[in-house]
Amino acid sequence: MKQQDPRFKIAHREAWIGVGLAILHFIWWFGFAYGLGSRPVEEYSYIFGLPDWFFYSCVVGFILICITIIVLAKFVLKEVSFEEEDEVK
36/33 Cα distance (integer angstroms) = 6
9/16 Cα distance (integer angstroms) = 11
Lowest mean pLDDT among 13-17, 31-35, 79-83: 79-83
pLDDT higher than 80, residue 89:
no
**What's the predicted TM-score (pTM) here?**
0.79
**Domain boundaries, given as residue ranges, for the chain:** 29-79
Contact criterion met (CB below 8 Å) for 59 and 83 = no
pLDDT at 2: 66
pLDDT at 38: 87
18/8 Cα distance (integer angstroms) = 15
pLDDT tens readout for residues 23-73? 999 999 999 999 888 889 899 999 999 999 999 999 999 999 999 999 999
Secondary structure class of 72 (helix, strand, coil): helix
